[in-house]
A and B are shown apart, each in its own frame.
Chain A
Amino acid sequence: MSELAISVENLSKLYRLGEIGTGTISHDLNRWWAKVRGKEDPFQKLGEENKRDTKGGGLVWALKDVSFDVPKGEVLGIIGKNGAGKSTLLKLLSRVTAPTTGIIKAQGRMASLLEVGTGFHPELTGRDNIFLNGAILGMTRGEISRKFDEIVSFSGVERYIDTPVKRYSSGMYVRLAFAVAAHLDTEILIIDEVLAVGDADFQKKCLGKMKDVSTNEGRTVLFVSHQMGIISQLCNTGLLMENGTVKAYGSINSIIDKYMTSNSAHGINEYIYSNNAKNKKIYFSKILTRNTNGDSSDNFRFDESISLEVDIEMEHYDSNSLISITLQDKLGYYISTDVIELSKFVLNEDTSRVSFKVEYPESLIAPNSYYFRLAIFKIDRTVYDLIENICPIRINDTGTPMSKFEGIDYGQVILNLKYST
């Protein structure tokens, strides 16, 4: 086995739920008294698994007995649903907060990027902020001076470098912030979804830089993201977390696959608008996938059609609206897109709702995991609502011509081809 960069043993983190404030002095005294007598924290045993949707005691294990090793030079992607404990793990790794039990050992300088532009001061110029931010991230002034030109040219804000950053556009701001972060050269780098900054062009540049960082320079990188596409491009191994524990550890592709299936374990596959959608004039209120029996489902046979039920609610009816429906693969790439006018469907005046169904044909989409992406927009580019990566579905291989090659990537569609000589 090659040398280890990070070793995590039995790491746990306990959080207290609810209000933390002055009411807890008696608890504090209680715990302190138990500690003085060398006993276990009386409140600790109340802790339970981190399930956000079940009600329970006041303490929760955000992480429970997490152990894993990261070899040197590894680029590890950490994935999991919201609340799986990814962020807590990152916080512990980056020493923002201390673990409740367990130990983390690391070899080499460690830096974490849970956010870009930490400590940027709006009144300072870009130049001053590069130095300040770099120092906060752990660079010395000498190191920053040496990389200064490189950072500035990467960010593309040369002209504004002596202007206070409060005058920057938000794009310039994040570009400068990312540029500093990208030039950190520690042996271990911990990154949390900071890639999603800037315009498409800059994102591409960031991605390229991240690839360089992780492959060419032989560093150990821990990377947390929800964007499977990026994870699969950058990482060689993956760590799947669920309810505060490590569910699986292995090659990135197998981990992504496990994540996709575990995501849809509960059978019902429904998108319901979140509260902030209510501010939108027209929005998707409910989306649901059903199988041929009419049951709500997220698992489909290859030879079964997929029916998508869409409910749209609105404040006022805009007959010029268009609806786009896209099928995405698990990396977010589009498989097919269709656009239809809202006016094709009838508006229920009482509920100010439009409901319709759309059916995807059977025996066409290759067995794999997919998502949907829906948008309501107008030709003038007004976007009323846009939702991505919703209603994950899995199409199982139930006898395609390619069954015998299962596990091999054979594309997104299976076409009934005609051969002739």
Chain B
Amino acid sequence: METKDIHWSTVIKPHTSLLDIDLKELWKYRDLLFLLVKRDFVAFYKQTILGPIWFFIQPLLTTLMYFLIFGRIANLSTDGVPPILFYLAGVTCWSYISECLLKTSDTFIANASIFGKVYFPRLIIPLSIVISNFVRFGIQFSLFLMVWLYYFVNGQVQVTFAIFLLPYLVLIMALLGLGFGIIFSSLTTKYRDLRFLLAFGVQLLMFATPVVYPLSMASEKMRWFLVVNPFTSLIETFRYGFTGSGSFSWMHLGYSSLVAVILLVFGVVIFNKVEKSFMDTV
């Protein structure tokens, strides 16, 4: 047949190689990415009276709660940082990480009805979730910045050079959340148990991360356990940058970055594999 020399623009095959990720296609769907982010925001505060203010209320109330329980009742140290600022820093970072992780881990199950009807690069969905959460983080970070400015002007906190690492920290947080999230999302299509495991796993993980206590409080024995947790150095560095207390180590930060990259690559590979046929198992 003469069809041999036609250039086919779409070829659908059963098996593709592991690293067959079509970035060009992903770029073609950038408008969808933008619209999905927009949808997340509009849908979030539709029919609420306070609207976008809810983005502030959530971290404020959580911070207040932590302040009462961990600060006043449990009397945990905050390394000399004003407690409100200390908890707010932890809450802002942690809610970004956990939202990225939890929401992306639901990608396939939550979107099964769309995925079952139309094709677009599936990776668009977790990416849109990370971006929505980034914008949300931006709003909550501005709240943190206002509180921080108050203490800074009053001379209660010092800044260190690590403050300039902020964009990098945010990026690594996003990559870690995304990496973990898409790995779990790929596995939950078949083994739903993981969903339940993950829901409280993330809750427990918060206590294995110095969110409500400083790393310096941990005993030598426990320390290695906290350092193995890739989220630890991110939150510690964040605090170190903005308040001058806490710890900073290039090695720990490097470790977190390495974990993030490995997880992400691994995640994209299995995500890519699962997206081809997950409709048959979901």
Chain A residues within 8 Å of B, Cβ to Cβ: 1, 3-4, 7, 15-16, 20-22, 24-25, 28, 69, 91-110, 112, 114-115, 118-119, 121, 123-124, 128, 131-132, 135-138, 140-141, 164
List of B residues within 8 angstroms of A102 by Cβ: 14
Q: Are A114 and B14 in contact (CB under 8 A)?
A: no
A4: which of B3, B118, B280 is its contact (CB, 8 Å)?
B3
Q: How far is the CA of A95 from the CA of B192 in the complex (A)?
A: 24
The yes or no answer to B24 lying at the interface (CB within 8 A) is: no
A103: which of B12, B31, B35, B114 is its contact (CB, 8 Å)?
B12
Contact code string B26-58 (vs A, CB < 8 Å = 1, else 0) = 001101101110110011001100000000000
The yes or no answer to B191 lying at the interface (CB within 8 A) is: yes
List of A residues within 8 angstroms of B47 by Cβ: 123
> What count of chain B residues pass the 8 Å CB interface test?
42
List of A residues within 8 angstroms of B46 by Cβ: 123, 164
Q: Are A103 and B13 in contact (CB under 8 A)?
A: yes
Q: Are B10 and A101 in contact (CB under 8 A)?
A: no
Q: List 22 A-B contacts (CB under 8 A).
A: A20-B190, A21-B190, A91-B279, A92-B12, A94-B119, A97-B278, A99-B12, A104-B12, A106-B10, A106-B11, A107-B9, A112-B119, A114-B117, A115-B118, A119-B114, A123-B43, A124-B42, A128-B39, A136-B118, A138-B29, A141-B31, A141-B34
Q: How far is the CA of A70 from the CA of B279 in the complex (A)?
A: 26
Q: Are A105 and B8 in contact (CB under 8 A)?
A: yes
Q: How far is the CA of A141 from the CA of B31 in the complex (A)?
A: 6
The yes or no answer to B72 lying at the interface (CB within 8 A) is: no
Q: Are A101 and B118 in contact (CB under 8 A)?
A: no
A-B CB pair tally, cutoff 8 Å: 121
User: Given the interface contacts A20-B281, A96-B117, A98-B276, does A124 sit within 8 Å of B10 by beta carbon?
Assistant: no
Among B9, B35, B113, B116, max chain A CB count under 10 A is at B35
User: Given the interface contacts A15-B280, A96-B119, A128-B38, does A135 sit within 8 Å of B32 by beta carbon?
Assistant: yes
Q: Are B9 and A106 in contact (CB under 8 A)?
A: yes
Q: Are A115 and B43 in contact (CB under 8 A)?
A: no
Q: Are A97 and B279 in contact (CB under 8 A)?
A: yes
A95: which of B12, B28, B29 is its contact (CB, 8 Å)?
B12
Contact code string B160-183 (vs A, CB < 8 Å = 1, else 0) = 000000000000000000000000
The yes or no answer to B115 lying at the interface (CB within 8 A) is: yes
List of A residues within 8 angstroms of B12 by Cβ: 92-93, 95, 98-99, 103-106
